[in-house]
Amino acid sequence: MSYAVELVNISKSFGSVRAVSNVSLSIRKNEFFSLLGPSGCGKTTTLRIIAGLEEPDTGVVKLDGRDVTYVPTHKRNIGMVFQTLALFPHMDVYDNIAFGLRMRNYSEADIRRRVREMLDIVRLSGLEHRRIHQLSGGQRQRVALARALIVQPAVLLLDEPLGALDLKIRQHMMVELKRVQREVGTTFIYVTHDQTEAMVMSDRIAVMKDGVIQQVGEPYDIYMHPRNRFVATFIGDAINLVEGDYASPGVVKTSLGDINVPSINEYVGKKVVFAIRPEKILIGGEVSSDLDNVFVGRISLTIFRGAFIEYRVYVDNMEFVIFKPHVGVSYLLLKPGDMVKIGWRREDGILMPE
Amino acid sequence: MKWFDRFLKIYTYIILALMYLPIVVLIIFSFNESRSKVVFTGFTLENYYRLVNNFMVWDAFYNSIWIGVVVTIVSVLLAILMSYGVTRYSFRGKAIVDSIMLVPIIIPEIVEALTLLVFLVILGFSLSPYTIIIGHVAFDISFAYVVIKARMAGYDPQFEEAARTLGADEFKAFRKVTLPILAPGIAAAALIAFLESYDDFIKTFFTRPPGFLTLPVYIWNMASRRGFPLDLNALASFVVIISLVFAYVRRRVERGVLR
Amino acid sequence: MNVLDLVRRSRKLKLFLFIGIPLLYLFIFFFIPFLIALLYSLGMFKQVVYQYIFVPRVSLDYYAGLFKYPGILKLIQRSFYYAVLTTLGTFILSYPIAYYIGVKLDRRYRDTAVLIIFTPFWINFLLRVYGMRFILHEAGLVNTFLRLLGFVSEPIKFLGTDLAVIIVMIYSYMIFMVLPLYGVLEKLDVELLEAAATLGATPLKTFLRVTLPLSIPGILAGSLLVFIPALGEFVIPELVGGPNTATLGTIIYSLFLRVRGVTGWGIGSAAALIYITMIVVASYIYMRFVGGEVVLG
């Protein structure tokens, strides 16, 4: 099977800064793939290398199995949605969307038909002759998407296109993007620093840091089985981390005491990081005496977060973050200063190398 | 496209070098012996001796400087008032006032010069250094205004409001807060205003009393003769040095503006 | 109650202080002189001994005088010719420079590059023109260069010709074209060019469809900044030209110089007003032609 995009050992430096380091990726056809990482992690550079806007120092870029490493951008048949959207300010909506077709010398009649269709897909019909500066942020987003998609690119590259939008519109556009991707069936590669965007839209995510890929996997997989401390903290709203020694199979010795964990033989005798997600922790009356791990702590803070309640609980010097949905009102009875039991199941814990 | 970028780069360098060529040639020939040919015949400092002993040049230089200073003070003061008014108050016809301020920059100087001359003569003014100053201020207000307004437009009036909540009246707030913050912009405007006046030839030439020289008028008198008066080349060396000093000061001031 | 309090209370007084005083200055010493010169060119001031008195009658004598000037139409035509060629020449020479500095050159070096362009223009304009006389002379650099390369055997006589005037005008006015072009190109979003490439545009098409249309405001500003003063240029034709390079500016200058007094200034005012009219008409047509939409929208 040939992949939509393949990167083989790509590296790229700017001066003394190594922006991308030995990156290899295989992105499947019709996949919604996200490159996720903090700013400066090399995700945008990777995207620009796929687009041909940067040349890699070493490595090979393949589109549909064809080596395009030294093919100029305009001959690659890709589409790109830029961070600033880069809509041409001297053209109206119609001319912006038609630009790629004109570059490919389509007939005007053909262009008119295709632009109409595309306007339908992105739900912008009727706005053909608006100037760009007369559009709202969300509408501009759609124009940029339509302009990139109309040439039926082999792959669509998106560079943090939702960054400038308000939260509400952003949430709406995430769903829109996903819908459009299903509808047109094109491979999307989406660059973002916002893990929510990546989680919501992606089929698979690659987490990057310092030019190196940390982990590639489906959202569920990355959330539940982060491979290292960076991925664990970067994905999800919060996580509780405790360092310790994996002394014997199934037991990690930490400053809080022994923690019962799944047994993984390769860690035996090594330093490890134990992690537990906030929603996996049981609190107060939920903690039964036969739970694998039980600790006693003092509530330092309760925060009403809407869909759930956030508790901060000190066990010794370690502050745990705990999320609880509020079915009924019982959880509101817990107050700062109260002593409570907290605990979790062995299999909910996550183990990572130090 | 690499070759094209390289071509652009080389082209740019060549044109930039050509921009400097006439000036370099002037300076080289200031050391030339022969006054009749454009061929370098031998090294001499003769032209410089003549320049140093030419009191007319120094008189003209002095006139350019003091006229420039007076013009700068008047036009910068007027421009500060204007920019403050335009950025701080809203009134009907503001856009018109703003574009009126630009007219003196756009209108060709020779037209300004002639109309001012006709005006002065008809009203019975006799021409004097002060008529030169009046003429220079009329275009320098605009240059100073453009620079100061740009600076003032980026200035947050909340500074001034903060000063007023702390007990300063409007005048004190302006003097103690607004003015110091605008100082680099005002310095840049003053420098430009000074140079526009100091370097002005056409308006000075039309509105000066007979026999009154400024440096550009002196240069014109020499250059508009046929041939190659080499003391003018010596003067060019002097002018170039002064200009480079101005350019340096300007760069310092502009850095201040950016900061 | 002191004066400051009075000013503080009254918005009108404040406005007069800030806007009124500078505006009044401009009106008295800039706009009214225009009006006076207009009336004067229409023969509405008469000299009586040492005074001028206003007479409410219009005469076109000075305009007639101007058009009786030998070769006046040829002269106006030549002024146009110089101005148009100077505008075109500065544009063609400047665009690549502005593009290189504004788009290609690393952001860190741009200020320095602009400074390098700017510096020669800080040196007195008359001296630079005088310097060009050395370069264009029969024994000057250009001729030496051409002879060494074997293009010519006899030195070309540049000085006194149209060519010399145009070369020196292009040299002198370059800066007014480079800076506005640099201004727009420097602000040009490189992502727009990249976007065009991702949509399949070749570099040439990207230039024609994106870069060039987006530089129109700079092209407009630059052309007007060059064209308007170039139309009335008299210094350059005087210094490097000859008897056959007189322009509209030359008439105004020589009328002022040689026919000082009532008639000369009357005809001069007429010429100045015709000059202004030409500028307004030419600029208007030009703006409509090149892309008023960009400027207006």
Q: Please indicate, yes or no, whether residues C116 and C99 belong to a single structural domain of this protein.
A: yes
Q: What is the pLDDT of residue B36?
A: 67
Strands (DSSP E) found in A177-292? 187-192, 204-209, 212-217, 240-248, 251-254, 257-260, 271-276, 282-283
Contact C197 A104 (CB under 8 A): no
| pLDDT tens digits along A203-249 | 999 999 999 999 999 999 999 999 999 999 999 989 999 999 988 88
DSSP H or E segment with residue A128:
none
Domain containing B159 equals 55-258
Q: Please indicate, yes or no, whether residues C159 and C20 belong to a single structural domain of this protein.
A: no
Distances (CA, A) of A83 to A5, A80, A158, A164: 21, 10, 8, 8
Average pLDDT, chain C: 87
Average pLDDT, chain A: 91
Q: What is the CATH number of the domain that holds A95?
A: 3.40.50.300
Phi, psi for C71 (deg, rounded to 5): 70, 25
Check if the beta carbon of residue B138 is closer than 8 Å to that of residue B116. yes
Q: What is the CATH number of the domain that holds A274?
A: 2.40.50.100
| pLDDT tens digits along C232-290 | 899 999 999 888 888 988 888 888 777 656 677 888 889 899 899 888 888 888 877 77
Q: Please indicate, yes or no, whether residues A127 and A21 belong to a single structural domain of this protein.
A: yes
Query: Which residue matches tokens 């200009």?
Result: B243
Strands (DSSP E) found in chain A? 5-14, 17-27, 32-36, 58-63, 66-67, 78-81, 155-159, 187-192, 204-209, 212-217, 240-248, 251-254, 257-260, 271-276, 282-283, 293-304, 308-315, 318-325, 339-344, 350-353
Q: Please indicate, yes or no, whether residues A114 and A139 belong to a single structural domain of this protein.
A: yes
Contact C199 A131 (CB under 8 A): no
Which residues does A320 contact at the CB level (< 8 Å), separation at least 6?
A240, A278, A281, A297, A311, A312, A313, A314, A342
Which of A266, A274, A351 has the alpha carbon at shortest distance from A318?
A: A274
Answer with the one of A169, A198, A232 that is the final residue of a domain: A232
Which of C261, C230, C262, C254 has the alpha carbon at shortest distance from C78?
A: C230
**Which chains touch C (3+ CB pairs under 8 A)?**
A, B
**Which chains touch A (3+ CB pairs under 8 A)?**
C
B41 shares contact with chain C (CB less than 8 Å): no
Q: Please indicate, yes or no, whether residues A119 and A245 belong to a single structural domain of this protein.
A: no
* DSSP β-ladder status, A282-283 and A339-344: antiparallel
pTM across the whole model: 0.84
Q: What is the pLDDT of residue A37?
A: 94
What residues of chain B score a pLDDT lower than 50?
258-259
Q: What is the pLDDT of residue C296?
A: 37
Of A73, A87, A88, the CB nearest to C198: A73
Chain C residue closest in CA terms to B105? C225
Q: Please indicate, yes or no, whether residues C135 and C227 belong to a single structural domain of this protein.
A: yes
| pLDDT tens digits along C195-215 | 999 999 999 999 999 999 999
Total structural domains in chain A?
A: 2
- Is position B13 within any domain? no
Q: Is the ipTM of this complex over 0.85?
A: yes
Q: What is the pLDDT of residue B37?
A: 67
- Beta-carbon neighbour count of residue C244 at 10 Å? 13
Phi, psi for C54 (deg, rounded to 5): -85, 130
- Is position B19 within any domain? no
Answer with the one of A215, A232, A249 that is the final residue of a domain: A232
Q: Please indicate, yes or no, whether residues A241 and A178 belong to a single structural domain of this protein.
A: no
Averaged pLDDT, A97-120: 93
Answer with the one of C18, C35, C54 that is the final residue of a domain: C54
Q: What is the pLDDT of residue C23?
A: 93
Q: What is the CATH number of the domain that holds B172?
A: 1.10.3720.10
Separation between Cα atoms, residue A83 and residue A187, nearest integer Å: 18
**Which chains touch B (3+ CB pairs under 8 A)?**
C
Of A84, A100, A157, the CB nearest to C199: A100
Indicate the length of chain A as a whole number. 354
- Is position B6 within any domain? no
Q: What is the pLDDT of residue C293?
A: 47
* DSSP β-ladder status, A66-67 and A240-248: unpaired
Q: What is the pLDDT of residue A330?
A: 60
Averaged pLDDT, A102-124: 92
| pLDDT above 70 for C292 | no
Contact C37 B16 (CB under 8 A): no
Total structural domains in chain C?
A: 2
Which of A162, A82, A96 has the alpha carbon at shortest distance from A127?
A: A96
C294 shares contact with chain A (CB less than 8 Å): yes
Q: Please indicate, yes or no, whether residues A79 and A154 belong to a single structural domain of this protein.
A: yes
Q: Please indicate, yes or no, whether residues A192 and A305 belong to a single structural domain of this protein.
A: no
C-chain CB neighbours of A151 within 8 Å are 199-200
Separation between Cα atoms, residue A353 and residue A242, nearest integer Å: 12
Question: What is the residue-wise DSSP string for chain C?
Answer: --HHHHHHH-HHHHHIIIIIHHHHHHIIIIIHHHHHHHHHHTT-EEEETTEEEE------HHHHHHHHSTTHHHHHHHHHHHHHHHHHHHHHHHHHHHHIIIIIS-HHHHHHHHHHHHGGGGS-HHHHHHHHHHHHSTTSHHHHHHHHTTS-SSPP--TTSHHHHHHHHHHHHHHHHHHHHHHHHHHS-HHHHHHHHHTT--HHHHIIIIIHHHTHHHHHHHHHHHHHHHHT--HHHHHH--GGG--HHHHHHHHHHHSTTHHHHHHHHHHHHHHHHHHHHHHHHHHHHHHHHHHH-
Averaged pLDDT, C71-75: 88
Q: Please indicate, yes or no, whether residues C27 and C132 belong to a single structural domain of this protein.
A: no
Separation between Cα atoms, residue C221 and residue B205, nearest integer Å: 28
Q: What is the CATH number of the domain that holds C138?
A: 1.10.3720.10
Q: Please indicate, yes or no, whether residues C147 and C17 belong to a single structural domain of this protein.
A: no
Separation between Cα atoms, residue A42 and residue A51, nearest integer Å: 14
Q: Please indicate, yes or no, whether residues C8 and C96 belong to a single structural domain of this protein.
A: no
Total structural domains in chain B?
A: 1
Check if the beta carbon of residue C65 is closer than 8 Å to that of residue C263. yes
Q: Please indicate, yes or no, whether residues C170 and C254 belong to a single structural domain of this protein.
A: yes
**The pair of three-digit structure tokens given for residue B137, joined into one six-digit string:** 């201020």
Beta-carbon pairs below 8 A across chains A and C: 69
Separation between Cα atoms, residue C27 and residue B89, nearest integer Å: 21
Q: What is the dihedral of CA A263, A269, A270, A274, to 10 degrees?
A: 40
C200 shares contact with chain A (CB less than 8 Å): yes
Band the pLDDT of C171: cuts 50, 70, 90. Answer: very high
- Would you give the end-to-end CA distance of chain B in angstroms? 37
Q: Please indicate, yes or no, whether residues A191 and A328 belong to a single structural domain of this protein.
A: no
Averaged pLDDT, A39-60: 93
Q: Please indicate, yes or no, whether residues A102 and A242 belong to a single structural domain of this protein.
A: no
Residue C175, min C-alpha distance to chain A (Å): 27
Q: What is the pLDDT of residue C50?
A: 72
Q: Please indicate, yes or no, whether residues A21 and A134 belong to a single structural domain of this protein.
A: yes
Averaged pLDDT, A64-80: 91
Separation between Cα atoms, residue C61 and residue C53, nearest integer Å: 17
Question: What is the residue-wise DSSP string for B191-237?
Answer: HHHHHHHHT--HHHHHHSPTT---HHHHHHHHHTSSS--HHHHHHHH
Separation between Cα atoms, residue C194 and residue C201, nearest integer Å: 9
Check if the beta carbon of residue C286 is closer than 8 Å to that of residue C224. yes
B111 shares contact with chain C (CB less than 8 Å): yes
Separation between Cα atoms, residue C239 and residue B220, nearest integer Å: 9
| pLDDT tens digits along A266-299 | 888 889 999 999 999 999 888 888 888 999 999 9
Question: What is the residue-wise DSSP string for A188-219?
Answer: EEEEES-HHHHHHH-SEEEEEETTEEEEEE-H
SS3 A314: strand
Residue C117, min C-alpha distance to chain A (Å): 28
Which of C1, C31, C30 has the alpha carbon at shortest distance from C13?
A: C1
Q: Please indicate, yes or no, whether residues C123 and C15 belong to a single structural domain of this protein.
A: no
Q: Please indicate, yes or no, whether residues C131 and C7 belong to a single structural domain of this protein.
A: no
B238 shares contact with chain C (CB less than 8 Å): no
Q: Please indicate, yes or no, whether residues C29 and C65 belong to a single structural domain of this protein.
A: no
A130 shares contact with chain C (CB less than 8 Å): no
DSSP H or E segment with residue B176:
none
Domain containing C71 equals 61-296
Separation between Cα atoms, residue A47 and residue A58, nearest integer Å: 15
Q: Please indicate, yes or no, whether residues C8 and C46 belong to a single structural domain of this protein.
A: yes
| pLDDT tens digits along A143-194 | 999 999 999 998 999 999 887 788 888 888 899 889 989 888 899 999 999 9
Q: What is the pLDDT of residue A262?
A: 85
SS3 A90: coil
Contact C279 B108 (CB under 8 A): yes
Domain containing A264 equals 237-353
